[in-house]
Each structure stands twice: as structure tokens, then as C-alpha cells.
Amino acid sequence: MEDTVVDIDLKEKEEYIINMGPQHPSTHGVLRFETCLQGETVKYLIPHCGYIHRGIEKMSESLTYPQLIHLTDRMDYLSAHINNEAVSLCVEKAMGVEVSDRVKYIRTILAELTRIASHQLWWSAFGMDLGALTTFFYGLRDREKILDIFEESTGARLLQSFITPGGLMYDVHPNFQKRVTEFVKYFRKKLPEYDQLLTGNIIFRERTQGIGYMSLEDAIEFGVTGPSGRGSGFHCDIRKIEPYSAYPLVKFDEITFDVGDTYHRYLVRMKEMWQSLSIIEQLIDGIPQGPIMLELKAIKAPKGEYYQRVETARGELGVFIVSDGAPSPARIHYRTPNFSNLFIINKISAGHKIADLVAISGSLDLVIPDIDR
């Protein structure tokens, strides 16, 4: 068999280029890692994105603000409520209006429920990435309860488009308070099961501890935020830095660890679920009465530039609106958390085995449509 020049070179070094994705279960979406392997060790990898680029920013330029809310669901579909809230807050800030306390409370409760649901799905899939199928059943069993609450109050399970500039689409279901309280009680019992099943498991610990170190400097340099950044000690929780909605009213801890390996990124999310439960408990009994929608003549941002940061389940989401005073924005840009979290993967997985690459990419909790927009 005749070898080409390139082949000889690769053979001498015993290197292989393997494409992982775009259709690969462990990338959780259409993302391609061009991995250079020496044996089973990853030498370097190059992420290729754009397979699900829909041009949301371009599309939004020809839509009005209440219309473009519906596109934001489709970025990070596991943080749909929080994405809606980000745009709504930015438009409200531009118009100089403030929503009622009732809306603030409901928005915050929905955002925290979303965060729990997102972490549950991440936990399920992360266990599965490492070969533990049971986690998927446990995680989805409990996530179902949250989706039922969403379905009852907002009419949709995944892409709700419920939070809109000026308030909410409609009021929550009368059962909302009762069902959320029930869920919090239920999940407080179930969450320790997660730890028994996976956190204390010796195989799981061997697979995650000391794998994929990310230093604090790297996290800041690459702009890695959310639980992935906090696992390295980066204090980047927007709920603390620039509190919005009802977050100034509640007490909660920002979970950070100084270690920065896969296991500690995992721990941040596990502990965040407890914090989210506590936030919901503090708010759910005190939802005040009030209008759910402001009476606005037209939803138009005055001429200018506006920026709003919120904390989604995966990190910092920024919405940048440039307005000329028209009903639709002149330019809208989303600083999405997953786009910034992705590119560190080359640095933290080089030198590890290919099976560890799956664990590392799982611990970054990437949602691909949020990268590509």
C-alpha cells in the first residue's frame, strides 16, 4: 500500500486525526471536535461550530421586541425563561419602566425552577456520559415535575416564551404556589439520592477527580462563567454582582471552589440546586398581588445602547441592544455563556485520554444552539 507524505508523517508520530461529531452522543448536539490522538491520548483538539447557526441576531433585526422573545428560547433551550427575562429586562431598562413586584417574584421563581431543571438534565446526561445509565432515569423523573408546573402555568414544557417586555404573557395558574411548594418538599428528599448514587461513587470519583484542571487565570482569560468558572474560583455570579428582579430580596450563597477540576465543576452544580430550592422557598409564600403586565402604549426602546447581564444555568448571558427608536432593534447581540465556555476545552483536555474528554466536555455543560445562535 502506498502512503502519501502526510500519512508517513502521522504514522511516524503515531498520531491520528479523529472527528468526534457532529453527530456524536457525547457532544450533546451538533458540534464537531477535530481531535488529534496519539494512541488514546488527546494531543490537541479544535472545536468546529456553526452546524446549527440560524442567524438569530440577523433575524431579530426585522422583528419587534415582543416577537424576538420567541427566538431567545431557541438559543439555550434549557434556560428558556432566563433568556426571555434577559431581553425583557433590557427592553424595560431602555424604556425606563419597572415591572410590579408580583412579576419580579414570579420571574425569579421561574428562573430558579429552570436552573434546577437544567442542572437535573445535565446531571442525568453527565452520568450517562460516564457510563451510568441509572442517573438518566432519576434525573428525568424529577425534571418531569418541573416541566408539569411549567406546562400548567405557561402552556409549554420546553420553549415557554412566557416572560415578555412589560411583564408576563398571562398570570400563573392558581395551583402554581401549591405545586411549587410540593415540588420543593419532594425534591429536598430526592436530592440526597443523587449524591448517594453518583457523588460518593468510587468509580465516578476516579473518573472525575484531577481531570481537566482549569486555573482561575484561564477561566478569566477565556471568559468561562457559570458553574464551570465558579469551579475554578471565579466569582462571576451575576445574581450577586448586578442583582436583578427579586434577587436583592433573597439570601443565597455563591458556590465556588478553588480546585477547578471536573469533580468540582460537578459539585458546584449539585450545591447550586440546594441554593435554588432555598431561593424558591424564600419567595413562594410571599408572592404579592399586582398587575402582571404594564400598560404600555408601544414597546419601543428609545434611541441608544443598552446592556443587560443575567445569570443563566450555564453562565453569564448578556443582551446588547442598539436602538434607533424603531419598534425593532437596529442591532441585537447576545453574549452567550456557552460560546465563551467552549474554547477552553482544548487547553484543559490536552494530555488526557479520550474517555476523559467526554467527562470534561460533559462537565462544561455545553448547549450547542446557544454557541451557534
- For the chain, the distance separating the N- and C-terminal CA atoms, rounded to the nearest angstrom, is 45
Alpha helices in 170-246 (DSSP H): 176-194, 202-208, 216-222, 226-230, 238-241
- Under rule CB under 8 A, which residues in 182-221 are in contact with other proteins? 220-221
The answer to whether 93 contacts other proteins (rule: CB under 8 A) is yes
Report the residue from 33, 123, 176, 222 that binds other proteins according to the rule CB under 8 A.
222
What's the one-letter identity of residue 71?
Answer: L
The answer to whether 305 contacts other proteins (rule: CB under 8 A) is yes
Q: d(Cα 166, Cα 100) in Å, to the nearest integer?
A: 9
Q: d(Cα 237, Cα 250) in Å, to the nearest integer?
A: 14
Residue whose CB is less far from other proteins, 86 or 106: 86
Per-residue contact string for residues 313-352; x = within reach of other proteins by CB under 8 A: ---x-x-x-x-------xx-x-x---xx-xx---------
Give the H/E segment covering residue 89: helix 80-95
Q: Rounded to the nearest whole angstrom, what is the least distance from the CB of residue 262 to other proteins in the complex?
A: 21
The answer to whether 236 contacts other proteins (rule: CB under 8 A) is yes
Segment lying near other proteins (by CB under 8 A), choices 46-54, 77-85, 182-190, 250-258? 46-54
Give the H/E segment covering residue 91: helix 80-95
Q: How many CB atoms lie within 10 A of CB 248?
A: 9
Contact (CB, 8 A) for 364 and 125: no
Q: Rounded to the nearest whole angstrom, what is the least distance from the CB of residue 306 to other proteins in the complex?
A: 7
Report the residue from 11, 13, 58, 185 that binds other proteins according to the rule CB under 8 A.
58
Report the residue from 235, 258, 288, 326 that binds other proteins according to the rule CB under 8 A.
235
Map residue 168 onto helix, strand or coil: strand
Residue whose CB is less far from other proteins, 178 or 235: 235
Residue whose CB is less far from other proteins, 15 or 57: 57
Q: d(Cα 116, Cα 119) in Å, to the nearest integer?
A: 5
CA neighbours closer than 13 Å in the CB half-sphere of residue 266: 28
The answer to whether 144 contacts other proteins (rule: CB under 8 A) is no
Q: d(Cα 341, Cα 325) in Å, to the nearest integer?
A: 34
Report the residue from 39, 155, 286, 304 that binds other proteins according to the rule CB under 8 A.
304
The answer to whether 372 contacts other proteins (rule: CB under 8 A) is yes
Q: d(Cα 238, Cα 225) in Å, to the nearest integer?
A: 10
Q: Which residues bind other proteins (CB under 8 A)?
A: 49-50, 53, 55, 57-58, 62, 93, 220-223, 225, 234-236, 241, 304-307, 309, 316, 318, 320, 322, 330-331, 333, 335, 339-340, 342-343, 372
